[in-house]
Amino acid sequence: MTDRTLQADFIVAGATLIDGSGGPAVQGDLAVLGERIVAVGSFDHPAGVPVIDGRGQVLAPGFIDSHTHDDGYLLAHPDMLPKVSQGITTVVTGNCGISLAPLERADIPQPLDLLGPAELFRFSTFRAWMDALRETPAAVNVIPLVGHTTLRVAVMDDTSRAANASERAAMRALLQEAMDAGAFGVSTGTFYPPASAAPTDEIIDVCQPLKPSGDAGHGGIDGRGIGNGSHGTDSRGVDRRGIDRRSNDRRSIGRRAIFATHLRDEADHIVPAMEEALLIGRELDCRVVFSHHKLAGERNHGRTRETLDMITRAAAHQPVCLDCHPYPATSTMLRLDRARLASRTMITWSKGYPEATGREFSDVMQELGLDDEAAVARLAPAGAIYFLMDPADVNRIFAHPLTMVGSDGLPFDPHPHPRQWGTFPNVLRTMVREQQLLSLEAAIHKMTGLAADQYGIAQRGLLREGYHADLVLFDPATVTDVATFSAPVQASQGIHAVWVNGKPVWDGERTSTQRPGQVLTPGDALPRSS
């Protein structure tokens, strides 16, 4: 390409290009015009075009955070500092069954309050929330999911039971509206009280709009969540025992809706919980995403060998993937069962006893002179960090070829888990540079191309001509997370520049005033190749 044919707004020159595909790094240049990449590799630089010196740095696609709770944070803090400062250019919202919409009410039960203050829950339809994001865009792109728990809270007067027929129909209608508005799919959080009473058949019934067009009939599952009918092949080519006979035919797969799940149990009973999720995926003909995959509690350490084998075997017959963050601790609402299972618990916030924020639960119990059950009641509602996982399990999960990177941060927590600010640089520091568990190319693939492929996003996640210019420039030798469990609100280091749709949003020290993020819809997606 000569300088007579190339038009560009800026060029990054001499960088190590890691394109997100998992392929080897190459030295080269990249040019951007408007929202798009217009040249990659070796080309003449037109006179007058600004050139950014990329020597000694890696230029990669912007990172895709596959698991967030940023639904309300996007509106309240559109600069998205915790995310752009670690190279993130796209976030998947509405995970763990909880989405900001469709819900308009002041009394928000846990765990929906993890999404932020009650005044954010002001959208009676999913489209209204998406319209608000488009009217006041954030610095990052958004891949929206609808929360099944949110649907239950919006429709049911008592979530401690299964939904009746009219409530299921009302939830199904809300979900259909959301899918028509551009949602990518549904998430569930049957681990949490507002959804734990929902049986398998309720989820399948409510989530019928996830089925491909022309296949959204109801039924097919009895009250025990077991498929009815013979062991023949149904109208979608799915064997009633759960084997997708079409799975090896690339031409037939296409783009599918997402079913992301915070399982009913991530501890002793994780296997039946995973089996339930896989069954739902088959019945709805959608892609199953195992959210923040983990084995909780010391007696379950090492069982990732079993669960990852399940995922590998399932992937041969149906679309499935998973996400994970690199820390041995998780974070959610304060629960007695989790506090008893964890080797250590930290309080992230407490309305019942604000003085507990940022402190060890054991110290707070001693200070109050209460046992764990009474202390949980005294602090409630509250949030906590639980040290539950074996680092060897975390590493094993990350090594799996279908694992994406998801922060799962809770952005409104006064003392958040450090994953909100440091997940992606932590992977680059610990798993690439220190442990050499992953190559730099493999890690970036998990953060970019793999996530774009699994979520069906067209023209993002790779460094290709014509693709959207979501980019991150960083120093592979120094990039590091600074956020810690004791001091979690700290921006990472070594991320020198971030662009979203061709516009700068982070310069290594501060955010810009630009808000170029887009609300992505399945219309932005192309049929998948695998």
Which DSSP string corresponds to 163-204? --HHHHHHHHHHHHHHHHHT--EEEEETTSHHHHT--HHHHH
Indicate the range of 103-117, 145-159, 224-238, 418-432 predicted with least confidence.
224-238
Of residues 382 and 219, the one with the higher pLDDT is 382
Question: pLDDT for 398-429, tens place per residue?
Answer: 999 999 999 999 999 999 999 999 999 999 99
Any domain includes 17 = no
The yes-or-no verdict on residue 200 having pLDDT over 70 is yes
Q: Is 353 among the domain residues?
A: yes
Among residues 353, 431, 418, 407, the alpha carbon closest in space to that of 385 is found at: 418
pLDDT at 284 over 60: yes
Domain region containing 379 = 337-386
Task: Give me the pLDDT at residue 522, please.
Answer: 85
Structure tokens at 202: 């309720």
Specify if 380 maps to a domain.
yes
Asked whether residue 163 is domain-assigned, the answer is no
Helix (H, G, I), strand (E, B) or coil at 52: strand
Q: Kindly report each contact of residues 215-220 with a partner whose C-beta sits within 8 Å and lies 24 or more positions away, as own/partner.
A: 215/285, 220/283
Q: What percent of the chain has pLDDT above 70? A: 90
Contact present, 158 and 194 (Cβ < 8 Å): no
Confidence of residue 523 (pLDDT cuts 50, 70, 90): low
Q: For residue 237, what pLDDT is reported?
A: 34
pLDDT, tens only, 107-143:
999 999 999 999 999 999 999 999 999 999 999 999 9
Amino acid symbol at 530: S
Is residue 234 predicted with pLDDT exceeding 50?
no
User: Poorest-confidence range of 54-58, 156-160, 210-214, 380-384?
Assistant: 210-214
What is the reported pLDDT for 510? 98
Q: What is the pLDDT of residue 227?
A: 31
User: How much is the average pLDDT of 315-339?
Assistant: 97
Q: What is the mean pLDDT of residues 331-347?
A: 97
The SS3 call for residue 299 is helix
In the chain, the percentage of residues whose pLDDT exceeds 90 is 89
Measured distance CA(382)–CA(404) in Å, rounded: 29
Per the CB < 8 A criterion, the answer to whether 196 and 264 are in contact is yes
Over 90: is that where the pLDDT of 207 sits? yes
Instruction: Please report which helix (H) or strand (E) contains residue 444, including its range.
Output: helix 440-447
Integer Cα distance of 178 and 144 in angstroms: 10
Say if 362 falls within a structural domain: yes
pLDDT at 231 over 70: no
Q: Per-residue pLDDT for 240 more than 70? A: no
Residue 366 inside a domain? The answer is yes
Which has the higher per-residue pLDDT, 252 or 524? 524
pLDDT of 233 over the 60 cut: no
Tens digit of each residue's pLDDT (9 = 90 or more) over 59-85: 999 999 999 999 999 999 999 999 999
Could you tell me how many helices (H) and strands (E) the chain has, helices first? 17, 22
pLDDT tens-digit readout, 454-485: 999 999 999 999 999 999 999 999 999 999 99
Q: What is the pLDDT of residue 529?
A: 38
Looking at the domain assignment, is residue 233 inside a domain?
Answer: no
**Pair 279, 227: CB distance under 8 Å:** yes
Residue 4 is predicted with a pLDDT of 53
Is the pLDDT at 98 greater than 90? The verdict is: yes
- Total domains in the fold of the chain: 1
Q: Which residue has the tokens 């064997």?
A: 239
> What tokens does 484 get?
């810690």
Residue 348 resides in a domain = yes
- The CATH number for 368's domain is 3.30.1490.130
- Number of Cβ within 10 Å of residue 441's Cβ equals 18
Query: Model confidence at 213, in pLDDT bands (50, 70, 90)?
Result: confident
Confidence of residue 271 (pLDDT cuts 50, 70, 90): very high
Torsion of CA 178, 183, 185, 188, to 10 degrees: -70
What was the pLDDT predicted at 5?
76
When the pLDDT of each residue in the chain is averaged and rounded to a whole number, the result is 91
The string of pLDDT tens digits covering residues 341-391 is 999 999 999 999 999 999 999 999 999 999 999 999 999 999 999 999 999
CA–CA gap between residue 61 and residue 73 (Å, rounded): 23
Phi and psi angles of residue 446, each rounded to the nearest 5 degrees, phi first: -65, -30
Residue with tokens 């199904």: 172
Query: How high is the pLDDT of residue 524?
Result: 66
pLDDT tier at 181, thresholds 50, 70, 90: very high
Q: Across residues 203-230, what is the average pLDDT?
A: 59
What pLDDT was estimated at residue 239?
33
